[in-house]
Amino acid sequence: MSLSLVSQTARAAAPAVAPTFGALASRKFATASPVTSGARNHKVVVVGGGAAGLSISHQLLRHGNFNKDDIAIVDPAEFNHYQPGWTLVGGGLKTREELRTPLKSIVDPKLKFYNTGVTSLTPEHDSLTLSTGDKLSYEHLVVVPGIKINYDSIKGLPEALANPDSMVSSIYGYETCAKVFDTIKKLSKGNAIFTQPTGVIKCAGAPQKIMWLALDYWKKAGLYDPSNPSASPVHIAFATGLPTMFGVPKYSQALDQLRQERGVEGLFQHDLVAVEGNQAVFAKGEEKVTRDFDLLHVVPKMGPHDFVKNSQLADAAGYVAVDQANLQSTKFKNVWSAGDAAGLATSKTAAAITAQAPVLVANLLRTMEGKEPGVEYDGYTSCPLTTEYGKVMLAEFKYGGVPKETFAKYLGDQAVPRRAYYHLKKDFFPWVYKNYMLQGKWAGPKGFTK
Ligand code: UQ1
């Protein structure tokens, strides 16, 4: 592996050195600088500098016995974003700028940081290729690059989002989340439609969180009366590709009750396929259903990154195939995954990462010591659903959609929206994420760690 690595590096440097020598010159140049290849051999390479990548890298540093540059982290991004906060941006409660941190500033100096993308994973050779063409080799690989938002999965959506005058927006991107509140404020009458696609998305509750905030905004502005929706200037519909409000029956029932009490029209099994002017086109089985809108909040389809999907690590859906309990690749014993990129049968959230990261780290370190990876993840995930300004329903559950509520024994059933959870969502979680979770010092429901 080191030979191919060095010749790649040398090729990039070659033109300045000897423009006409080609491969031969590269080899000579390579032998002359062995230090470069050493620097690109790591004990652990972590692909992704998001919530999962930073938590895991920093937990590895804290709990393992590593020297400088033993662990590398790879991410092309300039900023780490607190994505769960983008719903709050859409509701006018925070700015998108306050939720981001320059990635360079949070990566511990003991980690080798490659601020670039990945083009391919070659676990069969214990290596991967960076967008620069350079190769990295590793003893263990952690694949946590998140997932891709496929804006062009909906015809006309990229254009509608980019048009500053359109009333089409989405909380799912940094570029578009600030537009959401502008459209909510601008609407004085007509049809507001909030969509959720079929297929896997991150934070499956977010498509309705923003709807509930918007409803409350219009209620306070005198534009929406939940007890008399047909006489209100604004009409609200939730159009989801799924058959229910939420994947977990307990919370789904509570949310559908809210929907009915508040006069929100439910368009179930309506999957948005196109935005044409002020019309939203949905696929409903074989049928096409068209609805006029005055405000449209869209959640695009999402999917794995190509370099994951096209690798030997992928499951049938393109996510990293991992053991559901120990988070080890089912194909390569020195590969691990967590977060949105992992093929785990649970909801993709930052809260899930708080429970996954310590399991992955413990099992990776055990494997390095020649032990079996015996620590187990139970599928814990959580979705703090804003149901109005000042209230959140804190859905918490594990594999199988079984509720696993942290606060129920103190505060009662968590299907009931409460003010305390609103402050967790709005104030505490963003703070603990930035100051503890990214540094590897926060284990979610298990609290602070050293
Ligand atoms: C959590 O730790 C966390 O991250 C900081 C969230 O934000 C995205 C959450 O939504 C949740 C629920 C947790 C879990 C923590 C506790 C105390 C239940």
Q: What is the mean pLDDT of the chain?
A: 92
pLDDT above 60 for 36:
no
**What are 65-124's pLDDT values in tens digits?**
999 999 999 999 999 999 999 999 999 999 999 999 999 999 999 999 999 999 999 999
Q: Is the pLDDT of residue 50 over 90?
A: yes
The yes-or-no verdict on residue 16 having pLDDT over 70 is no
Mean pLDDT of 146-173: 98
Question: Which of the residues 71, 144, 171, 203 is marked catalytic?
Answer: 203
Nearest-CA residue for atom 6 of ligand 1: 351
What is the C-alpha separation between 86 and 81, in angstroms, rounded? 9
Whole-number pLDDT of residue 18: 30
How far apart CA 404 and CA 53 sit, in angstroms, is: 25
Q: Where are the alpha helices (DSSP H) in 407-447?
A: 408-411, 419-423, 429-432
Using one digit for the tens of pLDDT, what is the confidence trace for 235-265? 999 999 999 999 999 999 999 999 999 999 9
pLDDT of 29: 39
Phi, psi of 369, rounded to the nearest 5 degrees: -90, 5
Identify the pLDDT of residue 39. 52
Which pLDDT does position 450 carry in this prediction?
Answer: 87
pLDDT band at 180 (very low <50, low <70, confident <90, very high): very high
CB atoms within 10 A of CB 302: 20
pLDDT digits (tens, 9 = 90+) for 145-159: 999 999 999 999 999
- The model's pLDDT over 270-301, given as tens digits with 9 standing for 90+, comes to 999 999 999 999 999 999 999 999 999 999 99
CA of 59 to the centre of ligand 1 (A): 17
Nearest to 383 by CA among 52, 31, 84, 76: 84
Q: Which two tokens stand for residue 21?
A: 């020598």
Asked if pLDDT for residue 23 goes beyond 70, the answer is no
Q: What is the DSSP letter of 400?
A: G
- Could you tell me if the CB of 384 is within 6 A of ligand 1? yes
Candidate CATH numbers 3.20.20.330, 3.40.50.2000, 1.10.10.10, 3.50.50.100; the one for domain 1-376? 3.50.50.100
- Tell me the whole-structure pTM to 2 decimals: 0.91
Taking the CA of residue 350 as reference, the ligand 1 atom at the shortest distance is: 8
Domain boundaries, the chain: 1-376
Which of 202, 392, 393, 429 best tests ligand 1's pocket when mutated (most atoms within 8 Å of CB)? 429
pLDDT in tens, 336-351: 999 999 999 999 999 9
pLDDT digits (tens, 9 = 90+) for 302-339: 999 999 999 999 999 999 999 999 999 999 999 999 99
- Cα(368) to centroid(ligand 1), Å: 29
Provide the phi-psi class of 339: left if phi over 0, else alpha when psi is between -120 and 50, else beta.
left
Active-site residue flag, 203: yes
3-state SS of 319-363 is: CECECCCCCEECCCCCEEECHHHECCCCCECHHHHHHHHHHHHHH
Instruction: Kindly state if the Cβ of 311 falls inside 6 Å of ligand 1.
Output: no
- Distance, in Å, from the CA atom of 410 to the CA atom of 425, rounded to the nearest integer, reads 18
382, 392, 426, best to mutate for ligand 1 pocket (most atoms within 8 Å of CB): 382
Answer whether 301's CB lies under 8 Å from 172's CB. Answer: no
Task: Please measure the distance between the N-terminal and C-terminal CA atoms of the chain and give it in whole angstroms.
Answer: 37
